[in-house]
Amino acid sequence: MAHSDTARIHDGATIAASATLGDFVVAYPGADVGADCRVRGFTQLWPGVRLEAGADLGPGVTLEAPESLESTQAGDSIVIGAQARVGAGALISRGVRLGQGAVIAPGTVVAQSVPPYAIVSGAPARVTGYTQNVSGSPALDWHRRVNVPEEPSVVALEVAGVTVHRFKFMHDPRGDLSVGEFEREIPFTPKRYFLVLNVPSDKSRGEHAHRECHQFLVCVKGSCAVVADDLEQRCEVLLDSPDIGVYLPPMTWGIQYKYSSDAVLLVFASHYYAADDYIRDYDEFVAAKRGADQETT
């Protein structure tokens, strides 16, 4: 595609033939712009900046410059993931990676890396949601929030294998009671549990998948939101009552965020802790998931 007449590409910059650089964009040696990327204008692409396929930077996006143009360090790099969208006037600090499909609202100040498909805004940036689908153009009115039935029941989500459970809840003058039974209502017998609490409201937890471990999550106090992702669909469940739980099978990417100040999240796990059961990188999850799907076909 044609670049603006005022765009400048220095020797040593790598610009894909299908990329477009807008007015007064400058690409310095060592910048790397992938296929179908669009930089709309007034942005400096410093050494160590990498835009992966389909990334879109709005006008006036500022990428923090490295300390030296001659010798960039690992901490100077900025990576804009595939299909990520950065709104006009946003500021991205050195060392930040924006995950694939991330949506950065205009004017956002991003000082920390952003998870794949997260929607962030504010100064400093804060995760406000997650886009719905891996493919297509994510809109800010973005994802399916699950409506949990009022009566005891199990609801299967569009995310493969994920279920939302409403348990029995009994009111009593001596104190309320909620109960669920493993193997009958919760589809495994736990070998481990852990509690997540005192999470700042602007922080996210999880952001990983398990190869073999099943998990069941209940917010026993306060509230938090759980995002489940199987590469094809992404749904959000609000856990705001101790009689609501969500089951995450293996090979499901899980995120917990929107913690209230008093939230206490109880997680039951089917396996003892094993570091090699965790997949903490989304690209690795994509590769492992697709490999597993191919083996079953």
Q: Which residue has the tokens 């709309």?
A: 40
Angle at CA of residue 284, ends 29 and 202, nearest 5°: 80
User: For residue 135, how many C-alpha atoms fall within 13 Å in the half-sphere facing its CB?
Assistant: 1
Give SS3 for 198: coil
In this structure, what token pair is assigned to residue 124?
């400093």
**Helix or strand or coil: residue 277?**
helix
153's CB contacts (< 8 A; 6+ apart) are 165, 166
Burial tier of 107 (Cβ tally within 10 Å: 0-12, 13-18, 19+): middle
Cα three-residue angle 242-184-176, rounded to 5 degrees: 30
**Residues in the chain, overall count:** 297
Q: Which of 208, 210, 214, 271 is catalytic?
A: 208
Tell me how far apart the terminal alpha carbons of the chain are, to the nearest angstrom.
39
DSSP string spanning 223-235?
-EEEEEE-SS-EE
Sign of CA dihedral 55, 65, 116, 147: negative
CA atoms of 268 and 216, how far apart (whole Å): 5
Using alpha carbons, select from 4, 150, 112 the residue that is nearest to residue 27: 4
Contact of 84 with 49, CB cutoff 8 Å? no
The pair of structure tokens assigned to 149 is 């039935």
Q: Is 3 known to be catalytic?
A: no
Which residues are designated catalytic?
A: 208
